[in-house]
A and B are shown apart, each in its own frame.
Chain A
Amino acid sequence: MLQIKNLSASIDNKKILKGLNLEVKAGEVHAIMGPNGSGKSTLSQLLAGKDGYTLDGGEVLFEGKDLLRLAPEERASLGLFLAFQYPVEIPGVSNLYFLKSAYNALRKKRGEEELDAVDFMELVKEKSKLVEMNETLLTRPVNEGFSGGEKKRNEILQMIVLEPKLCILDETDSGLDIDALKVVSKGINAARSKDRAIILITHYQRLLNYCEPDFVHVLYNGKILKSGGKELAFELEKHGYGWILES
């Protein structure tokens, strides 16, 4: 589904990614771990299409298409979804309206009929139960005045409503208490399917206790240093990132 080949990118002339390789197939769950500054967020933002990065080399294929040439909305309509590390607040736009606009924009792009307000409301109510989200958060402006945990749940809600093919979760577990982490994990696990791939970008092994990955990669200094199964995460937790550098 996703092939990242020898990807190098910089921001303000500072090299962040230095020849990154990764292949993700449908049905797989990958965890990318790494210390601060290793390039985790750059990778996720670059894949989603954020401006401001210079591509120094390499390529990214998403379902065979040259992903980096596409506008963010085109990537979304192909089925790519990024759960933001820091979701933005949008005053004046209700959460429900935003979600419906996104949902219908994607349907329109696929040539499907748009869903009316009543049917959409039903769909969202059903899905928001899964992430235990208070219904009042739907009528409030997007993320405005939401707690950290509510913002992350809102990201997961968007994910399970929009049903993307590839979900990239950028530190969705950071700053969550254990109860919120469980709820978010439940949402992620519900999204697992044989047609969908998930990339969990995280600092902490804790999330992986609830969402078991098929593969774990260690990102360090702009490159994947080591890849392995879920046991790699436990090793990291035990020995720290220094252990990878030494071995």
Chain B
Amino acid sequence: MISTNQKISHYLDAFQKVENSLLGNEIPWLKQFRAKAIAEFENLGFPSTQDEDWRFTEIETITNKKFDLPAKEETDYQKNEIHGSLLGHCSPDKIQLTFINGIFKEDFSKNIKNLPSGLKIKNFKSMIKDEPKTLEKYFNSFERLDSDGFSLLNDAFFNDGLFISLSKGAVLKDEIYLNFITHSSHKDPVVYPRLLCFADRDSELNLVELNLGEVPLNYLALSASELICAENSKINYCKVQKESSSGFHLAKIRAQVQRNSRFYSHSIALGGSMVRNNLNVALAEEGAECVLNGLYLASGQELIDNHTQIEHLKPHTTSRELYKGILNGKSKAVFNGSILVHANAQKTDALQTNKNLLLSQDCHIHTKPGLKIFANDVKCKHGATVGQMDQDVLFYLRSRGIPKEEAQKLLIVAFASEIIDQIQLETFQNQLTPILFTTLMGKN
């Protein structure tokens, strides 16, 4: 048993060791940013089940281990082996960016020269070198009042990252693929992938992100994504997680949605020893809208936890949220959705739904949809359902000659299709459906 102090000091010591070699160490604002994060971490520590937000999410399995930064950059991986599992590998004409252990890998990326006009894609390393002021500006547009021990560690340790910006009026129909791969020969590695994205006025951007673990041993991925939709813009952010069954993935995703702009999020969690997504969306100005959809598939001993928070800060803001879960084995899932309507956010329109399909006797779902409303002229609705496979429907399918297993699969995919169908990125959907099938088949 490791004491709470030891758990924290493991990371404090690591920080002291690498502090001076971290990215942007020579830049005062970034050095300060890191110092502040590590100090806050020291003060706050890791969350525990005593905290309301972590009640059902036992993190001892993570904090009892000593995860370390991979000692050196990985070079011994097989290029082809990884290529096959990258999202977007079947669309050779689309932009693909690959990060291994949080560090940008140009040789795994495609179509990154001659970008469409208005699109800027750079890793943090080049941003620090070429235009640190721009990076600073967008970095500092987040207050990060929602930080926890894990997100603070990313703030302190991230050593690269991806910066994407789309300039005024640029509309990019083709999706951009981001692959974040954890691949290490080092025991118990911790990685810190990071994304910063800005869509300027009237622009439209589609991002598809894959998080994949190729490590047979335990690993910890602490990821941070920050997105800004400027006036009348749209970001569609799809995040797929397919961590290995011994991988831990904890993410903080923050989105700022400005006047008349739209933020779409599709979160597809296909597994991992423990997956936790904290998605916080601020509908910061009038007419801002968000659609948060989620699908999670858990089996074995896996735990998938989705915590979302939507803040309606101004009048006439709209949110639509639908999370659906399929659980099997002894798995556990948590859905905690909070919609916060501030006092002056009149005419807010919010709808939140969580639906769960339980396939075994031993799986657990903790669902807690929530509304906090301080305005008096709003339209808000929320609800949750938990159910098993409808036996009458199953019988109907079988009575038509469809074998039991196939009928079950058909119904599970039908349950998931409500989310998949809404993604509206055809190539990606076509690639996702078979992945979903294999995941389901592997799990049943």
Decide if B397 touches A98 in the complex (CB within 8 Å). Answer: yes
Binds B, one of A13-21, A88-96, A239-247: A88-96
- Find out whether the CB atom of A90 lies under 8 angstroms from the CB atom of B399: no
Asked whether, in the complex, the Cβ of B400 is within 8 Å of the Cβ of A92, the reply is no
Residue of A nearest to B398 (CB): A72
Measured in the bound complex, the distance between the Cα atoms of B157 and A50 in whole Å is 59
Given A90-B393, A90-B414, A49 and B402 contact (CB-CB distance below 8 Å): no
Q: A92-B417, A93-B414, A162-B401 are in contact. Are A105 and B406 (CB under 8 A)?
A: yes
> Which of A23-31, A76-84, A172-180 contacts the other chain?
A76-84
Complex Cα–Cα for A92 and B402 (A): 17
Write out the residue numbers on chain B whose beta carbons fall within 8 Å of the beta carbon of A102.
397, 400-402
- A83-124 contact mask (Cβ, 8 Å, vs B): 1 or 0: 010011011110000100110011001000000000000000
Complex Cα–Cα for A109 and B400 (A): 12
Task: Tell me the nearest residue of chain A to B414, going by C-beta.
Answer: A92
CA distance A115 to B396 in the complex (A): 22
**Residue B404, interface by CB 8 Å:** yes
When the two chains form their complex, are residues A51 and B395 in contact, meaning their CB atoms are under 8 A apart? yes
Q: Is the CB of A162 within 8 A of B410?
A: no
Interface assignment of B216: CB less than 8 Å from any CB of chain A: no
CB of B404 within 8 A of CB of A71, answer: yes
Interface Cβ pair total, 8 Å cutoff? 72
- Tell me the bound Cα distance from A77 to B400 in angstroms: 8
B383 within 8 A of A: no
Q: Could you tell me if B400 and A91 are in contact, using CB atoms closer than 8 angstroms?
A: no
By a CB distance below 8 angstroms, the chain B residues around A48 are: 395, 399
B428 at the A interface (CB under 8 A): no
A174–B392 alpha-carbon span in the complex (Å): 20
Chain B contact patch, size range:
20 to 34
Docked CA distance A130–B202 (Å): 52
- A247 CA to B319 CA, complexed, in Å: 70
How many residues belonging to A are interface residues under a CB distance threshold of 8 Å? 27
On chain A, the residues within 8 Å of B400 by CB distance are 76, 81, 98, 102, 105, 158, 162
> How many Å from the CB of B280 to the closest CB on chain A?
30
The secondary structure that dominates the B interface is helix
Contact (Cβ within 8 A) B403 A88: no
Q: Which residues 210-233 of A sit at the B interface, judged by CB distance below 8 A?
A: none
Q: Are B398 and A90 in contact (CB under 8 A)?
A: no
Q: How far is the CA of A162 from the CA of B417 in the complex (A)?
A: 26
Q: Does the CB pair B396–A90 fall under 8 Å?
A: yes
In the docked arrangement, what's the CA distance between A76 and B396, Å?
11
A76 to chain B, nearest CB (A): 4
Q: Which residues of B contact A195 (CB under 8 A)?
A: none
With both chains docked as a complex, state the minimum distance between the C-beta of A167 and any C-beta of chain B, in angstroms: 12
Given A71-B404, A90-B393, A92-B417, A49 and B399 contact (CB-CB distance below 8 Å) = yes
User: Does B174 count as interface, using CB distance less than 8 angstroms?
Assistant: no
B74 at the interface (CB under 8 A from A): no
Q: Does residue B426 face the partner (Cβ distance < 8 Å to A)?
A: no
B138 within 8 A of A: no
- Determine if A73 is an interface residue (Cβ-Cβ < 8 Å): yes
Q: Is the CB of B404 within 8 A of A105?
A: no
Contacts of B58 in A (CB 8 A): none
The closest CB in chain B to the CB of A87 belongs to B396
B415 nearest CB neighbor, chain A only: A92
- Tell me whether B80 is interfacial, beta carbon within 8 Å: no
In contact, A93 and B410 (Cβ under 8 angstroms):
yes
Chain A residues lying within 8 Å of B362, measured Cβ to Cβ, are none
Q: Which B residues are within 8 Å of any A CB, using their own CB?
A: 390-393, 395-404, 406-407, 410-411, 413-415, 417-418
Can you name 8 A-B residue pairings with CB atoms under 8 Å? A48-B395, A73-B404, A77-B401, A81-B399, A92-B414, A93-B410, A93-B414, A162-B400
